[in-house]
Amino acid sequence: MKRLKVIIPVAGSGTRLRPHTLTHPKVLLKVSGKPILGFIMDKVKTLPAEEVIFVVGNFSDQIKTYVRKHFNKVKSRFVYQEKQLGLGHAIYKAKNFIKQGDYVLILLGDTILDANLKLIVKSKRSLIGVKEVGNPSNFGIAIVANGRVKRLIEKPTRPISNLAIVGLYFIKESTILMDILENNIESGLKTKNEFQLTDGLQKLIQNGYNIEAFNIKKWFDCGNPENLLLTNQYLLKKTNTKRQIAGSVIINPVYIGKNTKIKNSIVGPYVSIGDKCSIVDSTIKNSIINEHTNIEKSTLTDSIIGSNVIIKSGHKKLNIGDFSYIVNE
């Protein structure tokens, strides 16, 4: 195999996940007890990659600290994207570190996929991951014939394909793609007011290069609270996490962090609770509770709770950030 470079864009602001992304980058939000980026890197670290290039923006220090602490054996480079001008622009920021002959694997930092990356990077052709969806106008879509990608369109108003592009790309013509992205940026070619990766890949196809589509079984875009909770459900079921705590009812699967105390409560199913939390006289299901949070005499469902939060009595569904204090007296 030629040199493999992995590019992971992680500069997105995650506006749909506020208030949590006001204090943390989207890719470090936790599901099943681990940051989204951690699940991606667990797969990346098994690849024969020469380097992993992170395209960072806001909260870049948090991302650097996390990667260097938990994946210090992976050679990492951090490239700063000053303005978020689209995925095509983010990938272009890595251009100076992609050399002739490099193969590139692009993985979106907020997307969890059920895919065999080791097999993908052995492909003889460039590949794009796709999955059938019911609402293709919300995604970039691929038109495919006999396994080959014929056309790529970014969020079409009248889609003629239901194959969504899921955020996994293996590109063997990496330097050619980078040159195309550079030309698109210099000429101001935007779609939906952004420099799109799909536009660059479409020009690659128009120039006669073959890209094949492959189907992804499971795909979770963690871009909003609903999908974050669905991802949490999927990962808890996959890891089959089971716990029992005397004096409380635990309905598995759940994740319960270290030094967390649960007393006289019902927890689960599909609940992740971070380290050093306290849950007393409460019922919690289908929720994510981050570290150092205390919940007392409350009923929570379909909720995402930040760290260092205090909740006392009565709420049903909450989406609140760090250092919040909610009490019904």
Q: What is the mean pLDDT of the chain?
A: 90
Q: Is the pLDDT of residue 76 over 70?
A: yes
pLDDT at residue 2 is higher than 80: no
Given pLDDT bands bounded at 50, 70 and 90, which one contains residue 194? confident
Per-residue model confidence (pLDDT) at position 41: 95
Give the mean model confidence (pLDDT) for residues 259-284: 95
- Tokens matching residue 271: 């609940």
pLDDT digits (tens, 9 = 90+) for 8-23: 999 987 788 888 888 8
10 Å Cβ neighbour count for 127? 20
User: Which regions of the chain carry the CATH code 3.90.550.10?
Assistant: 4-225
The amino acid occupying position 105 is L
pTM of the model: 0.90
From-to residues of CATH 2.160.10.10 in the chain: 243-327
Given this model, what pLDDT does residue 185 score?
Answer: 93
CB 55, CB 10: distance < 8 Å: yes
Cα–Cα distance, 28 to 222 (Å, whole number): 11
d(CA 242, CA 198): 42
Give CA angle at 23 (22, 28), nearest 5°.
Answer: 105
Instruction: Name the range with the highest mean pLDDT among 213-222, 230-239, 282-291.
Output: 282-291
Confidence of residue 326 (pLDDT cuts 50, 70, 90): confident
Question: CA 255, CA 190: separation in Å to the nearest integer?
Answer: 43
> Has domain 243-327 been given CATH number 3.50.50.60?
no
pLDDT band at residue 139 under the 50/70/90 scheme: confident
What is the distance between the alpha carbons of residues 34 and 274, in angstroms, rounded to a whole number? 9
Note the pLDDT of residue 260: 96
* Residues forming beta bridges with residue 295, ordered by sequence position: 279, 311
Is residue 1 pLDDT above 60, yes or no? no
Instruction: Record the tokens describing residue 170, joined without a space.
Output: 């293996």
Residue 99 parent element (H or E): none
**pLDDT of the residue at 329:** 64
d(CA 65, CA 245): 34
Q: What is the mean pLDDT of residues 248-254?
A: 94
In the prediction, which pLDDT does 84 show?
87
Q: Which fold has domain 4-225?
A: Spore Coat Polysaccharide Biosynthesis Protein SpsA; Chain A (3.90.550)
The one-letter amino acid code at 32 reads S
Residue at 16: amino acid letter: R
pLDDT at 327 over 80: no
142-174: pLDDT as tens digits: 898 888 999 998 888 887 888 989 989 999 999
